[in-house]
Chain A
């Protein structure tokens, strides 16, 4: 079902979407000096003076030369120093309740959880998964598990049982922290398929009544709040972020403790963190943004973070910005477009004197949305670009730099980007001329570069060509050095800022008795950028009628969860295939209104 009011939306229209190769139509947004000087004052200068060694020295390292641990940099070093009583996290409950944690209190809580894991016999390197909404225990569990030197894998609470099973299995999780409701709905039925899952800890009421699980709160109460982080190498695995692929199962991108160097410095440079800032990242911690910037970066920088448990609600968001005096805000284009839909007048009923900088990530921020920030908040919105595989922001629009609306900005100091093409001999070469489309590539070796895909070395290797990490995103660089996102080089779908793999969705559809083939694409959408649309052909004896369509829709939603299940299903007699039998998703996509006529010969990419 498509949105009926697409034509009247004040926000994104398909024509605004950058990437059709035409010259940008929106004028650059020039910056005037404000009263808080940005950390990055001059781009060229910042790049010339930057080094990763210097960036590393902004962190403390574990006492006694015991190495580098994300949780020490984020929590313990502040708890032991001048920021001990500074507010680290302020959690806003859906029901209006508020829970505050100073750095000292956060250190105690996270140490308790580290002790809980130790007492349960959960050792260094074991995978601890967290599946929950934005509750304080999510944040405590992630940081506590990092203290215990486990590998943390966050899961988006809207995932259905199938995506959850795939990730828990691939990651061989031995611990899962979740809630009774989520457990009953999505995990209980999977237990027999998860022999490696030793401990399930439940957070919340009735946590002590569910068989086969442990009560998180009770374990925390019994644990000591003193914990000494053991020696941790900068190259020890710390985070396992699952990301979808075009083919095959979701991939677990491995990040190591050294990623914290990038988390820390990109927060300073791209999000302009200053010591007195109140920061709000609206991303869910189930996604990499919600971990790198929803947890780690603001904490390593010693600032205050707001966490809102509630779902998107424009009026609530404006109240939070106003009441909490948020000074730096990091959100997503989808949310901006939803706010645009409600109108700037709603925002202007509030005052945001503290708000100084707004950033956005997830998909390219269209020019109208960049500009709309000025109407609603008096501030343009700064788009930035990065991926699960990059661990942190790689390309950004900076506070001190003019914005070209629609552009993702310029590479972070310390990051080298290129637009590359593949040569006849398979090698990859950098395109030096401006305004030529190619694949966005990053010179390998930055601290938060993923170190592998779990159990899939081959796929990992395919992401690299010599010194270049191939992002799978198509882009161009203009003559001023600004980068512009064009699209994916493969069949991945970008919906509400999340990358969704068609294969994962198709596999579930194929489990339905009526389905012979399924081809899933991203259909252009003014609010979500793309929505997941499935084309399905049926086995003999099944009629392509409304009843079956509804049945399939419900089937997919139940298994995959609302976030990645198709919003639309269309029946086709046959799906177009290549000579070697692969579904030509590009052809399906090219037929959709609003799609650029596609090049249907897909280049080789790492996904």
Chain B
């Protein structure tokens, strides 16, 4: 697959790279800045543009690799007071940045966001609209798909041209389609996790029309994006906001801390984290002993917190803390993607699990397969023996 790196930086005037297909990205902001997950979605958009250009029919007079930037990507920015974020995006070699800057968009609501995006998508009919796979995206994008009659492809972790995709024999899978409907025509096969990451599904989109895609964080490194380039300025264009359409459908009353953050796991050098596999609050003793022997903090995956075995301030993952200690020991954690995004930046990961096919082993450097109730005390003893 062609890499985005080093291409978009060469901003110039070009024809229609991307096989004539149009890609939009809707970045999410936090405190007025573009979130990291949004840059990753932009990196995915860049690779998508390159893949579509490469797969475009050769009869078209388009370059097969989009070396002539700007990339055929339009960013759509929603909010109030967007100057800084719009400038930040405009320097990334995009075709255009549509800016919906309006007091009615000061706080996110599905009604307001859909009220701006649905008419724009309906009028322009882009082929793909990419979003970072955040809680806000899951909150409103399915309804945006329903409203605009678009396809919906949530939480993708990758894509490849059908011919290059691996897995079951591809011809067989494609011929077995059976259920009718033509392929989207771009021949792309996407991957997304199912069963909490225990399986990876290869999916494709059939039929014509816009597809709304959300991009799982950590799948398309934002480091691959070219640095901001002054000569890559995209055209900033106002996107009209009709307050009669962009109507909040919830009254936002405020924001509150979900848990008193008395425990700051982000500072810990070593974390021993437990999952559902530990089996109960009464079985945490050996985990605590291991943590004591290592001088580690104790963390947990979401099911442990929901079951009340440990307080919420110890939760690690997308709705808890994001940590990157030098050593992370995951005991009885299968490794759902919501947990992985909160810890896979750790320098060294050890997985202890009875199921050798658990997804946690895909991010771990070392693994112990077996009953954690035997392995954890053995590990504590080995740590103590090594210290003496």
Q: Do A and B come from one complex?
A: no
